Amino acid sequence: MNDTSKQNAGTSSRAAELLAKLNSSRDASADERARVEGHARLVRAPGRVNLIGEYTDFNLGFVLPVAIDREVWIAFEAWDRPDVELTSVEINETRSFTFDGLAPRAGGSAFWIDYVAGTAWAMSRAGLPLCGFRGVLNSTIPVGAGLSSSAALEMAASLALADPAALRPSAAAMAAIAQQAENTYVGVNCGIMDQYASAAGREGHALLIDCKINKATPAQIPTNVSIVVCDTGSPHRLGSSAYNTRRSECELGARLIGEREPGVTSLRDVDEAMLARNRDRLPEVVARRCEHIVRENQRVMATVAALRDGDLEALGHLFAASHASLRDLFEVSSPELDVMVEIATSVPGVVASRMTGGGFGGCTVNLVSHGAEEALREKVVRDYSTHTGLGPKVYTVAAVDGASEIQVGPGGRSTGASRAIVFDE
């Protein structure tokens, strides 16, 4: 079997399993209360790993995420009730909510279903019609590792909730709606990157997202490198306090520079010369945060050029500079992340390595020459625990398309539209 047919077989059995779970979870009394519309449907949305451009999104700068083949899937049947009833296989729990009177609660969300309810709330606010459904979800995205299981859940939910007869807004607009859900309903102050990557990913490509104009341009990943994610096993303790402090430090920097420099409303508008001219007006710690953002934006653009040119050496330098800047200037790395990068960098064939995501734990992202993936895994498994006492996880991931519906024909046979799957019956 080649890689693609192996992948298809894996996809088919996962789909068959989830649809079977949906069938077996059917509750006669619920079905009596509502008319089930049509046959079971299946939607998917990928997690993401960010190649470079960390903390730049809320500064309206550039990011370069990849949608990965770790995905949230929802199998569901639409029904004619304004309700959602969803079972998470991982959590082994069924939760429900009704569309009537959805509103953010003070203090944010308490339950996983709030990512789905928040998406319904944000879609409805944007004027999109909603459909109720009964469904089952499963996921291959580790939760809380920084690979954006939350954004994938929102994007998958947005597909299940959408009225199939209504026009679907662009991926950028849907990402902004899901971001609203997470910011306002769930109460997590994230930028747009995670939802955008999950919505608009492209197979074999990273996405250069310009967060000022909310526009994405695919950037092809050289075909001779793999993306390997190393999970430090220490959860990304993105104490919202640390994230919010960084955010306000960046905003303060932009405001102080903007008092002297016309046209500056965010750090996106600041270049190195401007920062140098105004450095004496900034508190020392704010100046360091600003320096990270200004240079990180440049590194994103340089990475896009290096990907285009297949310049692996440049990629190595750019990832190393980004990691050092996040560690020393932005101060969001951790001893575990630093050790993981150090170990990876010592493996022949590892082209580039850095922390990815919010930091304080979570994952590193590595570009690895084909054939060296196993050597990296072995070295990490051998050395990382010795240094930290923690169990690492290593995933080789592929760049995939953004959220979509998987077409399922009657009897579970695929019709193969957005993602070809052929069930082995």
Contacts with Mg ion by CB under 5 A lie at 150
What residues make contact with ligand ADP under the rule CB under 6 A?
88, 90-91, 112, 115, 137, 139, 143-150, 153
**Of 100, 73, 98, 99, residue with least CA distance to 87:** 73
| DSSP secondary structure letter of residue 399 | B
Residue 120: contacted member of ligand ADP, Mg ion, none (CB under 5 to 8 Å, by partner type): none
Instruction: Enter the tokens of residue 109.
Output: 């969300």
Q: To the nearest whole angstrom, how small is the minimum distance from the Cβ of residue 14 to ligand ADP?
A: 13
Residue 90: contacted member of Mg ion, ligand ADP, none (CB under 5 to 8 Å, by partner type): ligand ADP
What is the SS3 assignment for 95-119? EEEECCCCCCCCCCCCCCHHHHHHH
Any bridge partners for residue 37, and if so which?
78
| Cα 238 from Cα 357, distance rounded (Å) | 10
Does residue 154 contact residue 195 with C-beta atoms inside 8 Å?
A: yes
Q: To the nearest whole angstrom, how small is the minimum distance from the Cβ of residue 256 to ligand ADP?
A: 31
Kindly tell me which of 115 and 384 has the beta carbon lying closer to Mg ion: 115
Kindly tell me which of 353 and 356 has the beta carbon lying closer to ligand ADP: 356
Residue 112: contacted member of Mg ion, ligand ADP, none (CB under 5 to 8 Å, by partner type): ligand ADP
Q: To the nearest whole angstrom, how small is the minimum distance from the Cβ of residue 92 to ligand ADP?
A: 10
- Within 13 A of 338's CA, how many CA atoms are on the CB side? 11
Q: To the nearest whole angstrom, how small is the minimum distance from the Cβ of residue 362 to Mg ion?
A: 10
Kindly tell me which of 8 and 180 has the beta carbon lying closer to Mg ion: 180
DSSP strand E in 306-356: where?
Answer: 350-356
Kindly tell me which of 108 and 409 has the beta carbon lying closer to Mg ion: 108
Residue 196: contacted member of Mg ion, ligand ADP, none (CB under 5 to 8 Å, by partner type): none
Kindly tell me which of 37 and 90 has the beta carbon lying closer to ligand ADP: 90
**Of 229, 68, 44, residue with least CA distance to 153:** 44
**Of 323, 251, 244, residue with least CA distance to 286:** 251
Q: To the nearest whole angstrom, how small is the minimum distance from the Cβ of residue 22 to ligand ADP?
A: 15
Q: Confirm whether 69 is a catalytic residue.
A: no
89, exposed or middle or buried, with CB in 10 Å at 0-12, 13-18, 19+? middle
Residue 412: contacted member of ligand ADP, Mg ion, none (CB under 5 to 8 Å, by partner type): none
Residue 139: contacted member of ligand ADP, Mg ion, none (CB under 5 to 8 Å, by partner type): ligand ADP
Catalytic residue among 57, 69, 194, 231: 194
Kindly tell me which of 187 and 409 has the beta carbon lying closer to ligand ADP: 187
Beta pairing, strands 350-356 & 225-231? unpaired
Does residue 267 contact residue 61 with C-beta atoms inside 8 Å?
A: yes
Residue 214's identity, in one-letter code, is N
Q: To the nearest whole angstrom, how small is the minimum distance from the Cβ of residue 97 to ligand ADP?
A: 14
Catalytic residues: 194
